[in-house]
Amino acid sequence: MPFVDVIARKRDGQELSRDEIERFVVGATDGTVPDYQTSALLMAVVLRGMTDQETTWLTDARVRSGSRVDLSDLPGVKVGKHSTGGVGDKVSIALAPLAAACGVLVPKMSGRGLGHTGGTLDKLESIPGFRVGLEIPEFKAVLREVGTCIIGQTTALAPADRKLYALRDVTATVESVPLIAASIMSKKLAEGSSALVLDVKCGRGAFMKDAAGARALASTMVAIGNRAGIATEAVITRMDSPLGAAVGNSVEIAECLRVLKGDGPSDLTALVMTLAARMVVLAGEPQEARAAVAVRRALESGAGLETLRRMIERQGGDARVVDDSSRLPAARHRTSVCAERGGWLGTLDATLVGRAAAALGAGRERVDDAVDHGAGILVRARPGEQVRQGDEVLDLLYNDERRLERARTLARRSVQIVEEEPAVAPLVLESIR
């Protein structure tokens, strides 16, 4: 059948066969299906959707486009974690060592920031010397010794996803539950974990703007993981305003250190502890309450912080930052965005704060842009707090004066002041197991 007929079948809302999906993924990757036909099929999927069966086949074909990491020689349950991405989302950097300190093996492959969302790798690279490009044997050695290791995704994992994601990015075909689910889960299945916790973000600063969309994405990914034999669960969390009080790179590392010292922002600390407890359960602790106690102990005893210190050391970083965060790169200049009138801080639009941080140099607009590790934003007033005219709401940290004006405009637009005390929704909206 000519490939145009496969596109037409999806355009008309029909279910594709396993062979047709395989042909699409293989052809898109090796170039035998040209980009214009790949793009047309992607758009047909955005408009017509996919059945669970098709989404599973799409995920599977993407996994088989590359190699899979074999962690079977490491003892115990390997529990992965993935977030669909948000602003100030530094959870993995505190969570992975905290869960590891409770005896969970946490292999973690992360990405870089693009657009308004930051990337775990960029944040870790703000620690002088930290290496994220370990080969798999070294990754496994660190995992065995420390209990966790965070590296970049190797190019051998799900290469079809890289090709398809790049095309989706420029053809307005990112926003689709089956396409996002297959993209994320193909990479997670290739990483070799035996269980997985997903943090699906929902709100203004997330792919999924409403609870129904986030629930559909979370359920689809949980189903794919479980069908592939990986115990998978998802937590849906709010992403309307930045998570924690720091957005950037070195400022987010400093905030993770505060969390592991018991002095972090309450929203971030609560989320890290909730996810860590789920990871302990997935690793074999049958009682949720005991898992929560283990996590609290690991935090209060400093065991989580010591695990992060050892991970930094083993990955070549300057572990002195753990006791002295002034060793992290800092910006030379600071200016504040203040409340223009009195009232309550309604929202702090996460997308705009993320874009403002990227404009200051903390993120990248194109994949090959360099990142300024010291630039970023500190949140001084949280949504729901009362503010007086002139109170500082955001601090902008920057090195390059030319970047300030655009960032300041975006940052000002992110601040919404309301006249009545706003209701603040809980951070964790629901769990899907």
Catalytic residues: 82, 161, 168, 183, 187
- Smallest distance, ligand URA to C-beta of residue 22, A: 20
50 binds ligand URA (CB under 6 A): no
Instruction: Report in angstroms the alpha-carbon separations of 420 from 240, 335, 345, 364.
Output: 19, 28, 9, 37
Classify burial at 267, counting beta carbons within 10 Å of its beta carbon; exposed 0-12, middle 13-18, buried 19 or more: buried
Instruction: Report in angstroms the alpha-carbon separations of 11 from 45, 47, 273, 337, 342.
Output: 8, 8, 45, 48, 53
- Smallest distance, ligand URA to C-beta of residue 212, A: 18
User: x/- contact string, 82-101, with ligand URA (CB under 6 A)?
Assistant: --x-----------------
How many residues bind ligand URA (CB under 6 A)? The answer is 7
Q: Which of residues 140-169 bind ligand URA (CB under 6 A)?
A: 165
User: x/- contact string, 370-389, with ligand URA (CB under 6 A)?
Assistant: --------------------
Classify burial at 275, counting beta carbons within 10 Å of its beta carbon; exposed 0-12, middle 13-18, buried 19 or more: buried
Residue at shortest CB range from ligand URA = 183
- The torsion region of residue 13 among left (phi > 0), alpha (psi -120 to 50) and beta comes to left
Of the candidates 291, 249, 241, the residue with the CA atom closest to the CA atom of residue 267: 241
Q: How far apart are CA 360 and CA 354, in angstroms?
A: 10
User: x/- contact string, 346-375, with ligand URA (CB under 6 A)?
Assistant: ------------------------------
221 binds ligand URA (CB under 6 A): no
Of the candidates 297, 291, 117, 66, the residue with the CA atom closest to the CA atom of residue 197: 291
Q: How far apart are CA 220 and CA 145, in angstroms?
A: 34
The one-letter code for the residue type at 277 is A
254 binds ligand URA (CB under 6 A): no
For ligand URA, which stretch binds (CB under 6 A), given 115-123, 174-182, 355-363, 419-427? Answer: 174-182
- Smallest distance, ligand URA to C-beta of residue 71, A: 21
184 binds ligand URA (CB under 6 A): yes
Nearer to ligand URA, 142 or 180 (CB): 180
- Smallest distance, ligand URA to C-beta of residue 161, A: 7
Of the candidates 187, 199, 210, 167, the residue with the CA atom closest to the CA atom of residue 45: 167
Report residue 147 as tokens.
């209990």
183 binds ligand URA (CB under 6 A): yes
User: What is the residue whose two structure tokens read 């790169």?
Assistant: 329
220 binds ligand URA (CB under 6 A): no
**35: which residues sit within 8 A by CB, 6+ positions away?**
28, 167
**Would the CA dihedral through 123, 126, 127, 129 be positive or negative?**
positive
59 binds ligand URA (CB under 6 A): no
Strand order, beta sheet including 392-398: 246-248, 376-379, 392-398, 333-338
Nearer to ligand URA, 165 or 391 (CB): 165
Nearer to ligand URA, 117 or 414 (CB): 117
Residue 286: other Cβ atoms inside 10 A: 7
Q: How far apart are CA 121 and CA 109, in angstroms?
A: 9
Nearer to ligand URA, 185 or 279 (CB): 185
Q: How far apart are CA 78 and CA 49, in angstroms?
A: 32
- Smallest distance, ligand URA to C-beta of residue 271, A: 19
Angle at the Cα of 121 from the Cα atoms of 350 and 193, rounded to 5 degrees: 100
28 binds ligand URA (CB under 6 A): no
120 binds ligand URA (CB under 6 A): no
33 binds ligand URA (CB under 6 A): no
Q: How far apart are CA 71 and CA 309, in angstroms?
A: 23
Report residue 64 as tokens.
């088989």
For ligand URA, which stretch binds (CB under 6 A), given 173-181, 210-218, 276-284, 408-416? Answer: 173-181
For ligand URA, which stretch binds (CB under 6 A), given 172-180, 309-317, 328-336, 398-406? Answer: 172-180
Nearer to ligand URA, 178 or 374 (CB): 178
Nearer to ligand URA, 4 or 166 (CB): 166
Give, as one character, the DSSP assignment of residue 228.
Answer: T
Q: Which of 16, 96, 132, 180 binds ligand URA (CB under 6 A)?
A: 180
186 binds ligand URA (CB under 6 A): no
- Smallest distance, ligand URA to C-beta of residue 394, A: 26
Which residues here bind ligand URA, judged by CB under 6 A?
Answer: 84, 165, 174, 179-180, 183-184
